[in-house]
Every structure is written in C-alpha cells, then in structure tokens.
C-alpha cells in the first residue's frame, strides 16, 4: 500500500487545477496543531471517518506554557478504534482537554479503567441527536459557526471532489458546523458511492493532512469478522429471530457475536431477495452478498442498493474491494438511514439489535447501566420505532438471558442510575435463547408474562414475585381462559402498516358560503 507522500508528490495524482489546489492546501498534522489555539473547540467525524493524525498532533501539544495548548474541547470525536489511548497517553488527568463522546468502545473503556479523566459522556441517539447538535453548532455565516475546527478522514480525492468514505454518517454535518474544515487523506479508504451528503467540493476544505499509514497509531486493528464464532446460546437466539423472518426482508444488523450468529443462520437458510437498510455496513453484508441472498431487488426505496451510514474497515483491503466505486452500496448521512420518515417507507424492515437489561414492563437499557455508561443509544430507538412504522416491519431486541456474571438481564425493576434507551410502549419483539416474544399492544400483565417466559428458568420464580410486588397480574384467570390472548402471529402482521390508514375516513370539504 502506498504512502501518502506518493500523493503529495504527485506520483499518481492527475494534473488538474483541483489537484493543484489540494497540493497547495496540504500541510502536516503538526502544522495544523500549531494553528490550533487554547480554548478551541474541535468537531470530529465519528466511526469510519474519525481523523486520527490531527487529533494526535493536538494531544502532543497539550500542557503548560505559552507554546502549549490548554482548555481544548473535542466534540463528536468517537475515538472508536483509532487513537483510543491518546488522552491517556498525553493528558491522563484531563487538565488540558475534555472529549465529549457518545459511543464507548473497548479502547475508551480501557483508558477510563486506567484513570483517563478527560472523558465526558453524552447520550447519543442518531439521528435526532445529530439534528440537535447541528442546530447547536451550525451558523449560515461560516465565520460564526460554533466549532473552530472540523476534522474528518476522506478517501483519495478524485476530480474536484472529496469523499467521506466510510463515514458518510456525519461527514457533511462536520463540514457545515465549523469555521475551518480539515481532511486527512487515507489511501486505504474506499471512494464510496452516494446516497447523499458524502461528496464535497475541494473548495470547501481548508486544509488537507498527510497520513503515514505505516504508523501503528494510524492503523485500524485487524479483525476478521468472519472468524467471530457465536456460542451455542447465541445460535439459539439466532434461530428464534430467523423464525419471524421472510423473503424480501430489509436488514439492519450490527457487529458482534450475536449479530454474527444471526448472519450465519440466514446464510444457511433458504431466505432470498434480502435487502439492506442499515446504520453500519460490514462483513455481515459482504457474506450474504457472496452467498447470493442479498440483491436488494424487493426494496421499496433504494432498490438494488444497500443503504448504509458508516463502516469500520477492520480488514481494509476487503472493505476496499467491496465498496470502492461500487454502486450497489449507497452511502447516506445518518439523518437519512436512521430517520423515522425514511424507515416508514422501507417495507419489510427487519432490525436486529441488542440490549443490556430490560424490566418486566419492557423498558430497555442499552447505554448506561447503574450509572455507568457502557455505550450509547445510537440508532436503537429510531430503528425500534422504524420497525413499527414500516409496512410489514419488525425490530428485535436480543440478548442472552443472563449476563456473563450470571445476573438476569430481565429484571423486576430497573436499578438506580439505569438510563432508559427505548420506552416500553415502543418495544415489540424481544429474543433470548429461550424464545422470542412480541410485546406490541400488550398490557403490563401480558408483557411481564411474556418476558418471564424467555428469562432464564432459574430466574422466573423470582421475577414472578417481583411482578406480584408491583401489582402486575401474571397469574390472573384471563391467562387460563384465553392463553393465546388472541394475539396475532408474525405472519398475520406481514402486511400491517402503522397508522391504520385504511380506516381513516376524510370529512367532505365544506363549501365557501361567500362563493
């Protein structure tokens, strides 16, 4: 793989006015950091386009003295897989910087455990939070915008445009919320076809930064997602989820052993003509495309294309091979992929998400457990609601019945400090290794009874006692008289469209008396 210096020296850059502009604007990360002032706010893109070279250069300047930086605030820098230890390495006590971060990944958790104090969590919910943050930071007059600097990673520029590559999610939002926009160019990033809001004219970029891809700090951790082996428990959960799927479903899948178990189950099934409308694209989609199961032929919007918002190129060459100039993949900003209005137009949406714990009324905790942030809401809330708005749509919350330390994930009441990510009234399908249930339109007693039925058998008696303390009638005679509660099956709901529109009777217009 070539070094960025090849680009800067023009060895493979076409000779054009646009390319000359890029060369003229190209600086080192250290030069960029020298232009940053104490008290500046840095707005960064998130997963897939989280610029690492400029961030490292800023951290290296933190400290006491007139030639150092103090009071630096970093916003929306996800710090997911690149440079996760910069804060710990250069300013462990957080005396000179604060990083406002929504998602918490392993590197961040490790840094916090080791004493990093420069971390400020906020509840991040794509896409509504992006809208709120855009409203907070954006000004029509660029010189008045709230962030002093915006930083993002891009693919190698082509013609007069740059491309947000794997981070379409908030690439354009970053570009439009800062006084100065800086892009680092990575040759290992694919040029991802739009969608929308992923291409930007070079005139809208103030500086370009060189990146040495041989520097270990700038390399993604290599992870072969195909090698993630689900446990037998996770395979059982996948089988339950597969039981409510059908041909033509449009998938939203994440990363990890449980989503991988679902993908493997789908790969071994006879499902066909599947599609993709997702927040995160990755190996799961590549695998199902190679199997011939994903063709996007039955999508109601973006037909023939996988709609996605971000990717994490754990194996850069494989992601590049699949996504570079591939029109099958449509890169979109998060306000499209995660928008309720968009999801309402995606027929047969099938979202698969995980949770940390849930009470017997169906309140979902995924981001902050007992006062300890572990992640963020992300797109979970939108996709859960979107599954209800979609014609024939479904959204599944899945988890093992117990945590690794043996505690039940389904509990009587939430604990102090738990943050509710999805209110109970929006929750429909919930799956564990003991089954899958639908809570849609259920009463408290029905919800509790269903959730207890998929809890670990050794926890069910205690959950029944908890329900009784709360006055929830899980032992009522109604369950003996009508055990199925006349409840619709997944197949019964395949043509359901939220809004009971076929029942609406519009009033006749009233004639204008003056006419």
Active site positions, annotated: 279
Using CA atoms, how far apart are residues 138 and 266, in angstroms rounded to an integer?
43
Angle CA(466)–CA(354)–CA(220) in degrees, nearest 5? 145
Using CA atoms, how far apart are residues 337 and 331, in angstroms rounded to an integer?
9
Q: Is residue 61 within 8 Å of residue 36, measured between CB atoms?
A: yes
CA separation (Å) from 38 to 32, 71, 87, 168, 243? 13, 6, 16, 30, 57
Helix extents (H) in 299-354: 316-323, 334-337, 340-343
Of the CA atoms within 13 Å of residue 41, those in its CB half-sphere come to 14
For the chain, first and last CA: distance in Å? Answer: 76
Using CA atoms, how far apart are residues 307 and 328, in angstroms rounded to an integer?
9
Helix extents (H) in 138-210: 171-175
The 8 Å CB, 24+ separation contacts for 291-299 are 291/267, 293/266, 293/267, 294/251, 296/328, 297/273, 298/247, 298/248, 298/273, 298/348, 299/250, 299/275, 299/346, 299/347
Residues 6+ apart with CB under 8 A from 21: 202, 203
Helix extents (H) in 138-213: 171-175
45 beta partners? none
Residue of 205, 133, 203, 193 whose CA lies nearest to 166? 193
Using CA atoms, how far apart are residues 418 and 374, in angstroms rounded to an integer?
11
Residues 6+ apart with CB under 8 A from 381: 125, 128, 421, 422, 426
Q: Tell me the DSSP string of 460-494.
A: HHHHHHHHHHTT--TT-THHHH-TTTTPPPTTTTT
Residues 6+ apart with CB under 8 A from 163: 154, 155, 157, 191, 192, 198, 199, 200
Q: Is residue 206 within 8 Å of residue 25, measured between CB atoms?
A: yes
């Amino acid at each position: 793989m070539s070094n960025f210096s090849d680009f800067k020296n023009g060895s493979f850059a076409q000779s054009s006015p646009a390319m000359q502009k890029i060369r003229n604007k190209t600086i080192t990360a250290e030069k960029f950091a020298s232009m940053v002032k104490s008290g500046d706010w840095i707005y960064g893109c998130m997963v897939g386009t989280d610029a690492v070279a400029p961030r490292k250069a800023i951290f290296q300047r933190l400290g006491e003295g007139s030639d150092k930086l103090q009071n630096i605030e970093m916003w929306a820098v996800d710090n997911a897989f690149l440079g996760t230890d910069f804060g710990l390495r250069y300013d462990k006590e957080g005396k000179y910087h604060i990083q406002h971060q929504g998602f918490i990944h392993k590197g961040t958790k490790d840094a916090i455990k080791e004493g990093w104090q420069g971390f400020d969590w906020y509840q991040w919910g794509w896409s509504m939070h992006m809208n709120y943050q855009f409203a907070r930071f954006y000004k029509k007059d660029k010189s008045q915008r709230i962030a002093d600097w915006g930083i993002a990673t891009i693919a190698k520029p082509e013609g007069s445009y740059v491309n947000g590559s794997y981070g379409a999610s908030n690439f354009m939002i970053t570009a439009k919320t800062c006084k100065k926009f800086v892009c680092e160019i990575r040759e290992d990033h694919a040029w991802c076809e739009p969608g929308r809001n992923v291409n930007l004219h070079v005139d809208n970029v103030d500086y370009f930064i060189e990146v040495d891809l041989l520097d270990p700090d700038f390399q993604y951790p290599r992870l072969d997602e195909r090698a993630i082996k689900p446990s037998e428990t996770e395979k059982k959960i996948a089988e339950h989820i597969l039981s409510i799927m059908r041909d033509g479903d449009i998938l939203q899948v994440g990363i990890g052993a449980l989503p991988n178990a679902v993908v493997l189950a789908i790969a071994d099934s006879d499902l066909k003509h599947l599609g993709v409308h997702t927040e995160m694209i990755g190996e799961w989609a590549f695998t199902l495309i190679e199997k011939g199961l994903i063709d996007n032929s039955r999508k109601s919007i973006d037909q023939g294309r996988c709609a996605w918002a971000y990717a994490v190129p754990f194996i850069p060459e494989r992601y590049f091979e699949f996504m570079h100039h591939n029109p099958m993949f449509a890169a979109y900003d998060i306000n499209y992929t995660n928008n309720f209005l968009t999801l309402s137009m995606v027929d047969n949406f099938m979202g698969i998400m995980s949770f940390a714990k849930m009470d017997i009324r169906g309140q979902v905790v995924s981001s902050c457990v007992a006062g300890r942030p572990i992640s963020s809401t992300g797109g979970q809330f939108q996709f859960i609601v979107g599954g209800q708005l979609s014609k024939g749509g479904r959204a599944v919350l899945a988890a093992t019945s117990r945590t690794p330390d043996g505690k039940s994930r389904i509990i009587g009441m939430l604990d102090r400090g738990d943050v509710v990510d999805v209110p109970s009234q929006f929750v429909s399908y919930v799956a564990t290794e003991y089954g899958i249930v639908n809570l849609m339109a259920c009463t408290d007693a029905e919800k509790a009874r269903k959730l207890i039925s998929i809890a670990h058998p050794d926890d069910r008696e205690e959950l029944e006692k908890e329900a009784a303390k709360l006055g929830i009638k899980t032992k009522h005679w109604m369950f003996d008289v009508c055990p199925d509660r006349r409840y619709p099956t997944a197949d019964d709901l395949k043509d359901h469209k939220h809004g009971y529109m076929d029942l609406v009777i519009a009033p006749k217009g009233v004639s204008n008396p003056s006419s």
